[in-house]
Amino acid sequence: MRRPWIVGVSGASGTPYAAAVLRALLDADHPVDLVVSRAARLTIIDETGVPFRDAHWHTDLESWLGRSVDADRVRFWPAGDFAAGPSSGSYPAAGMIVVPASTAACAGIALGLSKDLLQRAAEVNLKERRRVVVVPRETPVSRSHLLHLVSLVDSGAVVLPASPGFYSGGAQATAQQLVDFVAGKILDACEIDHDLFTRWSGTGLKRP
């Protein structure tokens, strides 16, 4: 059995990035452990209209992702459950992706606050020297935001801002293509194969 990737969804705007990563992990046949912060329930319902309720996580996840989800491939943990598997370093995870990452989550992980399971699991995966990818979404950023991101990099995290490139779709790029670009960069950081975007080859551009 492959080790699961833990996906932590915190309460920043950008829930389509989380949905794209979840779909891609499942498409790549990777088991997923899912943690959704309390604030993320607000962003999910704001951005998709879908409620995300612990007691109905499976049907709500299917509504959010717009597809059926094999319940055997996703293990859901309530954000308040500090006894959950991912709260321990002995839990066999491949690593963790925090997408999107609120400034509060970035600060909490950087400072080791562990105020909920998402922050605790991220801290645990950092201390175990596993791959942790943090996808901040805020603009503009303050000095303290930047310092927390530096601290995360110093702790071994990959800080991967939700910053889509326009070079694979040009000016006609759809919102989904821009989302998929960021999701693809996240999977690249986790060394997971995907076909979410067309890679730059250096040969297609008509140079002036």
Instruction: List interacting residues with ligand FMN (CB under 6 A).
Output: 10-13, 37, 39-40, 42-43, 46, 102-105, 116, 137-138
Which residue, 102 or 194, has its beta carbon nearer to ligand FMN? Answer: 102
Distance CA 154, CA 142 (A): 19
Number of C-beta neighbours around residue 108 at 10 A: 23
Tokens 């008509």 -> residue: 206
Nearest CA to 20 out of 200, 149, 152, 192 is that of 192
Q: Which position's Cβ is nearest ligand FMN?
A: 11
* Closest distance of CB 68 from ligand FMN, Å: 27
Which residue, 33 or 138, has its beta carbon nearer to ligand FMN? Answer: 138
* Closest distance of CB 103 from ligand FMN, Å: 4
* Closest distance of CB 134 from ligand FMN, Å: 11
Which residue, 53 or 67, has its beta carbon nearer to ligand FMN? Answer: 53
Contacts of 145 (CB under 8 A, 6+ apart): 103, 106, 107, 136, 138
* Closest distance of CB 15 from ligand FMN, Å: 9
Distance CA 14, CA 11 (A): 9
Which residue, 58 or 145, has its beta carbon nearer to ligand FMN? Answer: 145
Which residue, 40 or 189, has its beta carbon nearer to ligand FMN? Answer: 40
Which residue, 31 or 136, has its beta carbon nearer to ligand FMN? Answer: 136
* Closest distance of CB 10 from ligand FMN, Å: 4
**In the sheet where 95-101 sits, what is the strand order?**
74-78, 32-36, 5-9, 95-101, 131-136, 158-159
Exposure b/e, 158-190, CB count within 10 A at least 16 = b: bbbbbebeeebbeeebeeebbbbbbbbbbbbbb
Nearest CA to 35 out of 124, 155, 145 is that of 124
* Closest distance of CB 40 from ligand FMN, Å: 5
